[in-house]
Amino acid sequence: MNKLIQKLNDFNELVMFKHSIFSLPFIFIAMVVAANGWFGFKLLILGIFAALTARNFAMGFNRFMDRDIDALNPRTINRPNVDGRISDTQMFLFVMANALGFIAVAYFVNALALYLSIPILIIIGSYSYFKRFSYLAHVILGISLGLAPIAGVVAVSETIPFWAIFLSIGVMFWVAGFDLLYSLQDIEVDKELGLHSIPSKFGVEKTMQISKIFHALTVIFWLLFVIISDSSYFAYVAVILSALMLSYEHYLVNKDFKKIDKAFFTVNGYLGIIFFVLIVLDNIFF
């Protein structure tokens, strides 16, 4: 039993399970808006499983493909995919199981979800390759998480309305923007290993400027989402608070690079939760 618990902890560390907090709120935001409120226990359960299997696939595949790179980076050298705690075979089986699990969940959601399941897996898996030849890998990561609201609205309505597209584009710029800040930690390693990233190509100052632009676009697209979805007061408050929290994130990083983790995990984690709660309140009261 102890060995099983330890292995589960190793896989938890491998995929950084706590980072699910970034995508889950926006899946359910889209579902709440699409359903004009409660969307039912069935879709709640399927939505959770879809989000977790998709993310486990993406992170597992990334760790599998990056095990050679991670072994050369002091920040990642102790990850389970590098230090032998999880074998290549175990990672491969984990990735395949989650891919099949995601497709199976999509089957039980609706036909459009099933049709989109494999293209979604291809997109979220492609991030692992882009850093090898393009500094736009940050945007690909943003697109990967930006698919979460699309998946949510498809689950409820089997359509993709315009407001969902704006919400997703906002998520894309949000994720790409904070990934730029997070990537500042690896700027020297990326240069040494010949990996492509915006920090290694443009430097720290320009990277932070690009991140600010991405987050300004985030706020604009989330505002468009609120307007087009005909949401009300709480939704506008969500956008305003998001703008303030993103500003605080940049303040933390500008003040001290050692606070990148705090900016990345804490601020962005709370942002998604607060946004979700306010959208729920908006649908309850208006």
- Asked if residue 18 has pLDDT above 70, the reply is no
Number of other CB atoms surrounding residue 238 within 10 Å: 25
pLDDT at 99 (0 to 100): 96
Average pLDDT, the chain: 88
Share of the chain above pLDDT 70, in %: 91
pLDDT tens for each residue of 38-66:
999 999 999 999 988 998 998 888 888 88
Closest C-alpha among 51, 16, 83 to residue 261: 16
Q: Are 15 and 262 in contact (CB under 8 A)?
A: no
Domain 21-285 falls under CATH 1.10.357.140: yes
Rounded alpha-carbon distances, angstroms, from residue 257 to 33, 183, 192, 252? 37, 11, 20, 8
Q: Which residue has the higher pLDDT, 24 or 102?
A: 102
Share of the chain above pLDDT 90, in %: 53
Q: What's residue 238's pLDDT?
A: 97
Distances 140 to 26, 58, 128 between C-alpha atoms, Å: 17, 12, 9
Band of pLDDT at residue 91, cut at 50, 70 and 90: confident
Of 24-33, 184-193, 275-284, least confident by mean pLDDT is 184-193
Residue 196 pLDDT: 83
Give the pLDDT score at 261.
65
pLDDT of residue 13: 64
Lowest-confidence pick of 51-55, 157-161, 183-187, 202-206? 183-187
- Gap between the Cα atoms of 234 and 39, Å rounded: 19
Residue 78 vs residues 56, 72, 286: alpha-carbon distances, Å: 19, 10, 50
Longest dimension (CA), the chain: 54
User: Is residue 151 over pLDDT 90?
Assistant: yes
Residues 143, 124: Cα–Cα separation, whole Å? 8
Measured between alpha carbons, how far is 63 from 95 in angstroms, rounded to an integer?
10
Domain positions in the chain are 21-285
- Above 70 in pLDDT, residue 178? yes
- 143 Cα distance to chain centroid: 9
| d(C-alpha 211, C-alpha 233), whole Å | 28
pLDDT of 23: 75
> Tens digit of pLDDT for each residue in 207-262?
999 999 999 999 999 999 999 999 999 999 999 999 999 999 888 888 766 666 66
Confidence band for 165, pLDDT divided at 50, 70 and 90: very high
User: Could you read off the pLDDT of 101-142 as tens digits, one per residue?
Assistant: 999 999 999 999 999 999 999 999 888 788 888 888 899 999
Model pTM above 0.75: yes
Q: Tell me what pLDDT residue 259 has.
A: 60
Note the pLDDT of residue 126.
87
